């Protein structure tokens, strides 16, 4: 089922998740264990991140270093297939511009279509390595370009002029940034980009994590005034340690409220800091639900412990 169908058909608030594949050589059983722990809450869909290649340095036996280019966490599509057919949950693979040609993207879309995957999240991705583009190949520079390519395939238009082609039928998600994308000059510009993604064929948007609901409400209000009608799903992250207070803003270009920062940094123990993060996420979720939001998206990566704590508390007050 498509993400927008899950939202439209929901009889109660929905909870969706985002996870990350194991690092190269990692154990897939850890991911399965995490997914199985949240099955009682019937998540309608699970997002699976993807990463482009990056430059790494490998130490050789003689003490020298060799420059290699590889992906740390391959396996997004395989994990999506497992989620769909092992757990009967709709997977949402992240499809990237960065590190892939349009030809490789078309191949990936064909594979996902054959797998029966109906949903995608089209994003540019972090540019960690500028891949040389072979002659005769092309790239999608921005998520908007990627959305256009997916929409073309949904309309039966492939890169080559093929005969008797079968159109795909993907539900296309895109990213939204309540505090604006760090490369956008202002929020109005950023919202205009989302409007262009919608006009190009995007069906819904998932927000970058935020810790102040006022950012989300303001963003949605301005987006609606700009003519954006697609669902805008809020994204929540549970802070579990003092170090995340410093790392998350740097990695995701977000603001953490002063009250939350002070409480966590002044916590007497890691356990207390984690509890503060759980309480904050719970209050955010309650506020969103009480203001008519019918779906919450949690960024959990591979650890479901704190997520389950938040959901168990919500379950006492809401029919999740």
For residues 92-110, average pLDDT:
93
CA atoms within 13 A on the CB side of 75: 16
At residue 70, the pLDDT reads 45
At residue 49, the pLDDT reads 92
List C-alpha distances in Å: 22 to 150, 156, 185, 303.
Answer: 27, 34, 35, 12
At residue 30, the pLDDT reads 87
What pLDDT digit, counting tens, does each position of 80-91 carry? 999 999 999 999
The answer to whether residue 18 is domain-embedded is yes
For residues 53 and 29, give the distance between their C-alpha atoms in angstroms, rounded to a whole number: 24
At residue 26, the pLDDT reads 80
Please indicate whether residue 18 is annotated as part of the active site: yes
At residue 182, the pLDDT reads 93
Backbone angles phi, psi at 18, to 5 degrees: -125, 130
The answer to whether residue 44 is domain-embedded is yes
The answer to whether residue 101 is domain-embedded is yes
The answer to whether residue 65 is domain-embedded is yes
For residues 275 and 297, give the distance between their C-alpha atoms in angstroms, rounded to a whole number: 20
Q: Which of 18, 106, 179, 309 is catalytic?
A: 18
Query: Strand locations in 186-239, DSSP E?
Result: 204-209, 232-236
For residues 286-301, average pLDDT:
95
At residue 22, the pLDDT reads 84
For residues 252 and 228, give the distance between their C-alpha atoms in angstroms, rounded to a whole number: 24
For residues 263-270, average pLDDT:
94
Backbone angles phi, psi at 154, to 5 degrees: -65, -25
Residue 54 has pLDDT above 50, yes or no: no
Number of domains in the chain: 1
Quote the distance between the C-alpha of residue 149 and its chain's center: 19
Q: Pick the residue with more confidence: 13 or 60?
A: 13
Helix (H), strand (E) at residue 78: helix 76-87
**CB count, 10 Å around CB of 86?**
12
Residue 69 has pLDDT above 60, yes or no: no
For residues 241 and 306, give the distance between their C-alpha atoms in angstroms, rounded to a whole number: 11
- Which range (122-131, 148-157, 181-190) has the least confidence? 122-131
- Percentage, residues of the chain above pLDDT 90: 76
Under DSSP, the state recorded for 302 is T
Q: Which long-range contacts (CB under 8 A, 24 or more apart) does 8-13 make?
A: 10/44, 10/294, 10/295, 12/318, 12/319, 12/320, 13/289, 13/293, 13/294, 13/295, 13/296, 13/318, 13/319, 13/320
Where residue 225 sits, what CATH number does that domain have? 3.20.20.220
Cβ 31 vs Cβ 22: under 8 Å: yes
The answer to whether residue 320 is domain-embedded is no
The b-or-e profile of 136-165 (16+ CB within 10 A means b, else e) is eeebbeebbbbbbbbbbbbeeebeeeeeee
Residue 237 has pLDDT above 60, yes or no: yes
Nearest alpha-carbon partner for 166 in 174, 155, 175: 155
The domain of 91 spans 3-315
Cβ 77 vs Cβ 92: under 8 Å: no
For residues 30-49, average pLDDT:
93
The answer to whether residue 145 is domain-embedded is yes
The answer to whether residue 249 is domain-embedded is yes
Residue 46 has pLDDT above 80, yes or no: yes
**Residue matched to tokens 């370009």:** 145
What pLDDT digit, counting tens, does each position of 131-171 carry? 667 767 788 999 999 999 999 999 999 998 888 889 999 99
Backbone angles phi, psi at 103, to 5 degrees: -65, -45
């Amino acid at each position: 089922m498509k993400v927008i169908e899950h939202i439209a058909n929901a009889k109660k608030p929905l909870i969706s998740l985002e996870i990350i594949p194991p690092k190269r050589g990692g154990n897939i059983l850890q991911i399965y264990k995490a997914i199985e722990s949240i099955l009682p809450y019937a998540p309608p869909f699970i997002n699976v991140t993807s990463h482009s290649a990056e430059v790494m340095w490998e130490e050789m036996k003689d003490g020298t270093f060799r420059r290699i280019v590889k992906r740390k966490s391959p396996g997004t599509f395989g994990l999506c297939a497992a989620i769909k057919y092992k757990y009967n949950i709709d997977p949402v693979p992240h499809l990237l511009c960065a590190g892939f040609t349009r030809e490789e993207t078309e191949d990936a879309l064909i594979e996902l279509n054959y797998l029966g995957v109906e949903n995608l999240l089209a994003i540019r991705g972090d540019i960690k390595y500028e891949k040389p583009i072979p002659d005769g190949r092309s790239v999608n520079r921005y998520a908007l370009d990627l959305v256009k390519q997916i929409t073309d395939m949904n309309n039966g238009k492939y890169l080559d002029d093929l005969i008797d082609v079968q159109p795909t039928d993907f539900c296309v998600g895109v990213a939204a940034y309540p505090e604006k994308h760090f490369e956008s000059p202002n929020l109005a510009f950023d919202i205009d980009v989302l409007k262009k993604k919608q006009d190009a064929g995007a069906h819904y948007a998932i927000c970058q994590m935020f810790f102040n609901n006022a950012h989300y409400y303001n963003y949605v209000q301005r987006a609606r005034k700009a003519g954006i009608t697609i669902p805008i799903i809020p994204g929540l992250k549970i802070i579990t340690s003092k170090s995340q207070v410093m790392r998350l803003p740097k990695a995701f270009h977000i603001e953490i409220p002063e009250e939350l920062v002070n409480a966590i940094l002044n916590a007497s123990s890691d356990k207390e800091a984690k509890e503060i993060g759980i309480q904050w996420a719970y209050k955010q979720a309650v506020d969103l639900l009480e203001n008519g939001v019918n779906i919450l998206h949690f960024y959990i990566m591979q650890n479901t412990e704190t997520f389950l704590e938040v959901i168990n508390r919500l379950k006492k007050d809401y029919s999740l």
